[in-house]
Every structure is written in structure tokens, then in C-alpha cells.
Structure 1
Amino acid sequence: MISMCAILTGCYADEITEERFDKEYRLKKPVLLKFRNGAKDWTDPEKWTLKSLKSTYGQWMLYSGSSLEVVRRGGNGYLGSSFEEYVDGMMAEGQDDKKEPPYVFDRSFYNDTDLSDTLNLPSFLSVDNNLEDSLFFLGSTGTGISFHNHADAWNAVIFGCKRWFLYNIDQNPPGGVSPGYGQLDWYHNLYPNLTKKEKPTECIQEPGEILYLPEGVYHGTINIGDTIAIGIQKKEAVTDAMKYIYEESSLREKGETTVIDRMELMFKVLDMYPESAEINLRLGSLNQEINQMESAESYLEKAVQIDPYFVMALLTLAEVKAKLEKKDEAETLMKKVIKLNPNVWDGYAKYGTFLKENERFKDAAEVFRQGIKVEPYQKAFYFYLKEMEEKLGNKEAARRVNQQLRRLEQMEAQEELREKRD
């Protein structure tokens, strides 16, 4: 397990044998690998410059997104653009560290290129495409990825720098995992309030360095300068806890099993990590699915007790409180979420729906308007705002909202056509 010191120190890769790596680091603790000649020791940096990539792959499709939404979507970018469009447009937006432009987080681009032919990695970082996924990262200052964890992985920076924030699997990041905080929101609004015990292990990954991340370690990143990097991640978990978590997620996606089967897997993880806010949230949500609201409330209150900043635990607890007819408590929790993080659209969606169901149409309309400002591409906000305006007798306002909804649907249709052409 990681020693929760403030700074993760590095060591030179040529001082680590495969035997030493397996004994000291693999599945045990992260290590920042340095190279005597930087990236030249393991690749050809000239083929990775923005100029070179743009010249060779300028019309290739890339997928990018915000640090929060990429994690929400299972580690997949969702905004399609050509390489050239991204570099000349979206990437150019990143001028300061308080604004988060879209970040390329693409699972296909690297494997489809010839860039893998430039790699000459240490033997203990060998790549097997049958067992591992590859990821291509590209972004400017302020881009990054929100907290998440997964199977064994390593991340290599060719140009730019990454600031890493790391937590053990048994210490969830304050604020929780996605969807909770964009990484810049977390850094500017929550990080300064953390106690020494709550703060993460950190490091700055310089050009040419490779960071190894053991399975289960929670991590979030913020890029410093224009950054180009790749990541390799195991497809399957090998530790018991992550096996159970992967299996529960797979069963949920397939929808081919009962909630009880999924709960049994989470109970096994909870036995290992009883103070895991995330696992308590999962069990609370599973109890909510089978309408066991008192049990759901208990697990969710434990999650919030462990982590008072945990946005999704607070929101889910609010939903459960509402179903238990504890409406005042539910509304207080929803307002707290929006105050904690006004940039997460889930808070407006849940609170607006709560107000709508309680026939507070004017208040609901205002909350849905706020939600649109935060997430202008979320169609549900327009649909419900239109409904609220109609309830209030505001026909002209309802018509304008409906126009916005149709434009959004047209944009989505055009994007689908473009993806099919490409």
C-alpha cells in the first residue's frame, strides 16, 4: 500500500530490474520512473510533437471531453473532432489554470497509428494488446481527469507535465468519485480545505517520465502546459477487491442478474474496506433499487459521515429521504450539493425534479435554467423547463425553450452523421 507522504519520489528506470519491480512495486505502490535522456530513452520525441502529429494525423478523428464527464462515461471522450480542429480550436482555449477546456482521452487513436513502433520500453512495462487497453492524451493547461481507479496501469508523458493526486483504495478521495467534481473544481474549491490526513500523495510528472499506478489506486490529474501522453491499462483486475468491483459493474451494464447478486459482491468489498465511502454509496444505491429505503438511508448516511464532501452520496441520500417523506431534509441536502459544487449538473437535475414532483413549478423552472448554464447539452433540462413554462402558462417562453431543444437535437443528428462518414 502507498505510504501517504506528501510527495511521491521518483527513481531511474535503469536502476530497476524486472525482479525488483515485481517485488517492490507491482500491485503494491506507485513509482515515478525517470530516464537519463528523458523521452529519448524510450521513444522518438520528434514523431510526437504537435507539429508532426498534426501533419500526419490532422484529419483523423479524436474524442475529448471534460475531466468529470470522461470519467462518468467510463473513461471515454465524447466530443468528436479532427486532430487539426482540436489543436487549432478547443486546445487553444486553455489559457489559464482556472478554465478547463476539453481534454483528449481517446481509446482508439494510438492503436490505429504507427506510434507504437517508436516505443522501446523497460521490460517490466511490456505491452500486450490482448490484455491491455491503450489511451492517447492531449490537452492544454488546466485539462485533466477526475478521480477514478482501475486495474494496473502506467502513464507516459512525452511533452508537458502532469500533476497527480493519489489515494489508496481504502481512502476515497474527498468529494468522492465521478460524478462529483471536475478536477480543477476539486483543486480550487476543495483541496485547500483538506486536513493533512485528508490530502493526497502528489507528484509532478515531467516530460519523459513514466508513472506506474498499481491496481485500485484512486488518481486524478491536472495538466501543466500543452501535454502529450499515452497510457496503458490492464483490461482485467487481479486483486480480489477490484475483481468484485469490476464484476458488479459488468453485471449492472449487462442487466442480466439480480440486485442481490450485485450486493453480495459489494458486501465482500465492504468487509475489506468498511470505511470506504464509495462502497457504502454503492450499497445504498443498490438498496434503493429494490426499494429498501431504510437500509439505503443507513448506508448513504455512513458514506456522508465518512466523506461530508461526497456529492453523489449526498444527492442519492436526498432522493432516498424524499421517498421516505423527509422532504425538508431532502431539499436541504440538494441545496448543499449545489453550494458544494455549483458546476455539477446532477445537482440541478435532481433538485429541479424534486421541485417539479412537489408542484413547485416556478422554483423548478429556475433550477432547470441554472442547469442549462452548467450543462447546455443536456436535453432533459430543456424538456423539463419547457414543461414548467407550460404549467406556468408562459407559452412564449415554452416555445423558445422548445426551439432550443430542437436545435440541440439537430446538432446531435449532424454529429451522428459525421461519425458515420468518418
Structure 2
Amino acid sequence: MNSPAVVEWIEADQARSARWRSESGAPPPRRVVVADDRMKADAAYKLACEGTALLWRGDFHNARQLLTALARRIDRRPRKQPPADPARAFHLHRAAQSQRARILGMLLVPLDPGYVVPLHRAPDVRQACAQAYGTEGGHGTGDGERHGDGAGNGDGAEQASGGGQEAALVSLRELLGLIGAYEWRKKGVEIPALGGDRVHPYYGVFSPVRGEYVDLVARAPLPATDPAIAFDIGTGTGVLAAVLARRGVRRIVATDQDPRALACARENAGRLGVAGQVEVVRADLFPAGRAPLVVCNPPWVPAKPTSPVEYAVYDPGSRMLRGFLDGLADHLEPGGEGWLILSDLAEHLGLRPRAELLSAFESAGLTVRDRLDIAPRHPRARDTSDPLHAARAAEVTSLWRLGAAAG
């Protein structure tokens, strides 16, 4: 196991160091200066743009205000007209978002042992940090593989306070993300397809806030009147497994590689009263055996993630998509179906033509039996200021009903 990264800086003429924590996988800053309530936003912005991190020693609420001021300065930069080529527009947008995250990530706060922020008016972040980082020994970035519904972030999600026995530094932006995710986990996400019951996502596990894909699984006709078993590949929160269980599938084997996604799916199955039907197992894609129904909701965009938590959105080289398609026929019972839930956003961005997807079906020995479509309901589809608005407005999410081609 690699040693934790360390940040070094000079404070009060003394050399200091602390562990570096970053769920996004960002490297520790090379230059650090100490800042407090006297720091002006323009000066902080200049330092952050130059790659110098600011270690905050002032009031916590003032640090939040400074972070907001930095974001305003980034967002008011003149925007260039997006290029006509949608793929180029996508890559430029991602580069801009990455730069924005880097600059905002330069405002750091200390974490004392026990996950305590030693700043005036700082909130109690012990539970939120324990969820993300685990107890002592957790490195917070998981195993680097996030599939399907599961964005994942390591084990220890069930641990309470008491971990983090080292002093550490963390970006304020990330810490606020941990706090927000912890509140989402407590509150849960209402799922209409589950009768309004809630699914509780762990930090970093893909949240089913875009419920249209869940609705597709809830209304697609089952391949058999009384299916005995189904596989849910890349289960994440376990929401699709729960929907299948509520629909009467007697046993669902839900797989994922990320330990936190696995723990999240197990907890949600218990909360929803389907733990007796849902078996959660760690596997790269398929479990052993065959099933009359195999469901997969892979990451939708074939692009390289820039941080570990992006693996639920970006599928480099379409690895998971192709792995699912190539292995599907061997895991279907005769007459069975594979349900692939996939947005066509990549097509509108010029990243994966429809012909390429259809060719992948054919190469895998699969035929299309039917396709159910649904339009997105998320606000970004209506945001005309979004550089990718044209692609988002045209997006359609589909459930492809696939079967093995006749031999």
C-alpha cells in the first residue's frame, strides 16, 4: 500500500507537514501560504491561479465566502463562442471545468485528529468525513474503478467518528462536498418507481437523481411472466435491483467492484425491504451463471475520467459498455434478455456514433428486440447558457432490449 501523500509548508518560520486528503485524486499542492480573514479575494484569486494553495486559519464562514468570491471571479471570465464541432466543444468544456476545480481546490482547511476542523464557527464534520474517509487507514479514493450506478469511494462508509488519527489538510470545496453528500445520504432520494420510497446514496456513489432511467426499468416488459433470477451489473446504490424486486423478480444478483457501492446497495436493500431478494456480490461485471434477465446501466460517455469519482459518468474506451455487450450472450438463459440503459448524449457530442453502438451489438452476437425511450427531465437540458446545451436538449435515454442472436 502506498504511503499517504503529504503537504509541506512554512508557518511561523517553522517547517510543517500534514497528510493530504483528496477524494478527487488531486495531487498535493507544491506551494502553500497561510491565509486568514485579512486575505482579500483578488489576492487569493491571483495566488490560486498561479498554483499556490491557501491554508486557512481564520473564520470558517469567511472561508466559505472567499470560496464563493473565487468562483465568481472564475465564472465572469469572458466566454468564447463554443466551436461548431460538438466533440471539440465537449473537450474544451471539460478542460474549463477541470481548471475551475483546480483553482477552487486551492483553498485548504486543516483537519485535526478525529476529523475536527480547528477553525472558529466550523461545523461538526466528523460523521461526514468518516463516511468518506473511513477510520484510520482509509485513503479515501477507493480502488479507482467505478462502474454503472456506483461511483464509489472505498470502504468504511459505515464507520462513525473516531477515525482520522493524523492531522490532515483538505480543500474546502471538497469538504463542503462531503458535508452535502452526508446530508443527501441522511435525507435520501425519492424514487417514484418505488412508490415514493427513498434510496440513500453513499458519498461518491452515483445518485439516482436522474430518475428517467429508473422509470424505464420500472415499465419495460419482463422477459418472462415469473422470472426467477436477474443480474444487475454495476448496481451502485442498488436502485435498479430494488425496482426489479418490487416487480416480482424473486432473486437479483447485484454486482459492483467498489466496496462502498456494495455497502450502499446492501443498506438500501434492507431499508426497502428487499434484502431477502437481492444478493450483493463483488464482481467485475458478471457473476457466475446465467439469468433470463441481465440489466446494466453503464457510464454513458466514452471519455477519460480526470478523477476517480468521475468513473460513474465517463467510461474510457467504452470499457464497461463493451465488456457488458461482449459477455452478455454467455450469461443469458435461452430466450433471455439483456437490458442496456444508455443515453445517446455521446452521439450528440460526436463521441460515439449510433452506427458504432449497433456494430458492437452485432459483434457481440446480439439482436435488438425492442427499445424504450425517454426524454431527460433534468434542468441542464433546458439551460441555454450551458456550452453543451444543444447536445443535452437533444438527448434521449434508451432501454435496449437485447437477445442472443440465433446460432
Give the structure-2-normalised TM-score. 0.30
As a proportion of its length, which structure holds more helix?
1
Give the structure-1-normalised TM-score. 0.29
